[in-house]
Amino acid sequence: MSARLLVVDDERAVRTALEVNLSKRGDEVTLAEDADEALRLLRARPFDLVLTDVKMPGASGLDLLRRVRQSWPETPVVVMTGQGSVEDAVAAMKAGAADYLVKPVARDELFVVLDKALEQRTLRAELVQLRREVTERYGLERIVGVSPAMVRVYEQVAAVADSQATVLLQGQTGTGKELLAHALHYRSRRATAPFVRVNCTAIPESLLESELFGHEQGAFTGAVRQHRGKFEQADGGTLFLDEIGEIDAAMQASLLRVLEVGEFQRVGGTGTLTVDVRVVAATNRDLRAEVAAGRFREDLFYRLAVVTITVPPLARRLDDLPLLVDHFVQEIATREGRVVPPPSPDTLARLREHAWPGNVRQLRHAVERAVLLHREGEELHITAVEEAEAVADAGPAPTPVPTPVDGRPLGEVLEQVERAAIIQALRAAGGVQAQAARDLGLSKSNLHYRIRKLGIELADLDYR
């Protein structure tokens, strides 16, 4: 990769040597003999990197560094210091230099340092671009609906997005709670910090505590190394506790403590940790009713529901249905590279008569199937999926099937499930591995292999 470099040094011999070396490997080199000339050149055209001497007559390399950081923050600066001027190197790094080199500069080292600085610049630029895309994707822009009920939701989101208040998103399955949680994050000043989601139903209760708060090495069976929990991972950003209505009493107590005192400890740890995390929780249950039924702590409910946003079911905003259908037809047809006609008024009228227990998600699936099954020249036949109708018969607020993947790497999810299954089998078998292997349908050696691979500490397993 050829880079455009600006080399600044008051000594002609140094400039020339650098130019020769760098040009040889294909870089485009421009020379300046002092900071002023360098700034003039920078104003005239962009450079990928500035390599500057520190000690120069007039403005020093450190002055130049500060100016570049200010006006061209994306352009990395590498400084060259004289031998024995450690202070200069330290000062440069503090002022935001990408790296430093000690004169006389060896060629190999020069190349390594410059490549590293240039690579970091590319990564940073990619990150900025990625964040911009993500913000666009998850801002309110992606949320479809103009019904008064949805407009009220948007207003609430806009009003509280940038506050520190804990938000509880309540609504039936598939109404868009996760989408709104993203919107809350990406519309806040936390947008560039992490958004971390925890699906409370997808994680076995025994593991949830360590998943949220982390654990120290050796805290329990299988804790082979220290693990930073989701609270730590979300530091500076947003922690989205999805399906919060499903957590057990012990977890409710732990969570309440963190929300109240703002401190927690890793499992097996003694040090107290504090993080700056904004919590957004979601549930498709009526949490107030859960409180009344004694299944959810009232004090935790009030902690979570500082602001409650209730997302309306699709059946109560059918005016949004044509818009949603149109949105999904576009999205899925584009994704599949297909051309499909818009649905007929008849089809739309029929869709309005459905109960939509699975809400927008169910509608999206219906459209997806229609687009995939569509044959050229035919109408677009959109029909609600039958199995979803069965869900309606089961009563309101169906417990969702846990979807353990949730944006986490599949390997990580599988490993977690595997670990839980093996520990459970070993416990059930009272530690008799042959028995556990049989129960798991594995050969003994295969079980051995997995125990080793997952780092499960047999000695720590308590058999009850």
Ligand X SMILES: Nc1ncnc2c1ncn2[C@@H]1O[C@H](COP(=O)(O)OP(=O)(O)OP(=O)(O)O)[C@@H](O)[C@H]1O
Rounded CA gap, 190 and 135, in Å? Answer: 11
Residue 171 or residue 237: which is nearer to ligand X going by CB? Answer: 171
If one asks whether residue 140 binds ligand X (CB under 6 A), the answer comes out as: no
Q: In the complex with ligand X, which residue's Cβ is closer, 174 or 214? A: 174
| Residue 144 binds to ligand X (criterion: CB under 6 A) | yes
Please state the φ and ψ torsions of residue 28, each to the nearest 5 degrees: -95, 115
Token pair for 56? 């120069």
Q: What are phi and psi of 68, to 5 degrees?
A: -65, -45
Alpha-carbon span 307 to 367, nearest angstrom: 33
Half-sphere exposure of 70 (CA within 13 A, CB side): 8
Nearest approach, Cβ of residue 211 and ligand X (Å): 18
Site size with ligand X, rule: CB under 6 A: 16
Q: Of residues 341-360, which lie at the interface with ligand X (CB under 6 A)?
A: 360
Q: 241: burial class by Cβ within 10 Å (0-12, 13-18, 19+)?
A: buried
Q: Left if phi > 0, otherwise alpha if psi is -120 to 50, otherwise beta: which for 174?
A: left
CA 406 to chain centre: 11
Can you tell me which of 285, 361, 374, 419 binds ligand X, judged by CB under 6 A?
361
| Residue 84, amino acid | G
- Binds ligand X (CB under 6 A): choice among 170, 400, 425, 436: 400
- Does 285 bind ligand X (CB under 6 A)? Our answer is no
What type of residue is 403?
T
CB atoms within 10 A of CB 86: 11
Report the nearest approach of Mg ion to the CB of residue 175 (Å): 9
Residue type, 106: A
- Alpha-carbon distance of 415 to 96, in angstroms, equals 40
Determine, following the binding rule CB under 6 A, whether residue 312 of this chain makes contact with ligand X.
no
Tokens for 8, please give them. Answer: 């600044």
Residue 284 near ligand X by CB under 6 A: yes
153 binds ligand X (CB under 6 A): no
Q: Between 150 and 189, how does the x/- string for binding to Mg ion read (CB under 5 A)?
A: ----------------------------x-----------
Nearer to Mg ion, 91 or 167 (CB): 167
Backbone angles phi, psi at 92, to 5 degrees: -65, -45
Residue 75's binding partner out of Mg ion, ligand X, none, with CB under 5 to 8 Å set by partner kind: none
Beta partners for residue 242, in sequence order: 199
Least gap, CB of 266 to Mg ion (angstroms) = 27
* Rg of the chain on CA atoms, in Å: 29
CA distance 400 to 413: 18
Q: How many CA atoms lie within 13 A of 159 on its CB side?
A: 10
Interface segment toward ligand X; rule CB under 6 A; list 44-52, 155-163, 170-178, 429-437: 170-178
Judged by CB under 5 A, the number of residues near Mg ion is: 1
Q: Which is nearer to ligand X, 177 or 419 (CB)?
A: 177
Question: Please, which residue, 178 or 246, has the CB nearer to Mg ion?
Answer: 178
- The Cα–Cα gap between 297 and 129 comes to 43
Taking CB under 6 A as the binding criterion, the range among 47-55, 131-139, 175-183, 372-380 that sits at the site for ligand X is 175-183
Which residue stretch of 28-36, 51-59, 172-180, 346-354 sits at the interface with ligand X (rule: CB under 6 A)?
A: 172-180
The distance of closest approach from Cβ of residue 143 to ligand X in the complex, given in angstroms and rounded to an integer, is: 4
Nearer to ligand X, 364 or 450 (CB): 364
Minimal distance in Å, beta carbon 283 to ligand X? 8
Burial call 136-170: b when 16+ CB within 10 Å, e when fewer: eebbbeebbbebeebeebbebbeebbeeeebbbbb
Choose among ligand X, Mg ion, none what residue 357 binds, the Cβ cut-off being 5 to 8 Å by kind.
none
CB-nearer residue toward Mg ion: 88 or 211: 211
Q: What is the footprint of ligand X within residues 38-57 (CB under 6 A)? A: none
3-state DSSP helix/strand/coil percent for the chain, to nearest 5?
A: 50, 10, 35
Say how far residue 165 (Cα) sits from the centre of its chain. Answer: 20
Smaller CB separation from Mg ion, 240 or 264: 240
Token digits of residue 261: 């005192």
For the bound state, the minimum distance from the C-beta of residue 174 to ligand X, rounded and expressed in Å, comes to 5
| CA 323 – CA 450 distance, rounded (Å) | 50
- Least spacing, CB of residue 169 vs ligand X, in Å: 7
- Tell me the sheet residues that pair with 79: 52, 100
The answer to whether 173 contacts ligand X (rule: CB under 6 A) is yes
Build a one-symbol-per-residue string for 424-453: x at contacts with Mg ion by CB under 5 A, - elsewhere.
------------------------------
- Cα 440 to Cα 433: distance, rounded to the nearest angstrom: 10
- In the list 176, 222, 237, 343, the residue contacting ligand X (rule: CB under 6 A) is 176
From the list 14, 17, 95, 179, which residue makes contact with ligand X (rule: CB under 6 A)?
179
Tell me whether residue 61 or residue 176 sits nearer to ligand X (CB atom): 176
Binding site for ligand X (CB under 6 A): 143-145, 171, 173-179, 284, 360-361, 364, 400
Binding site for Mg ion (CB under 5 A): 178
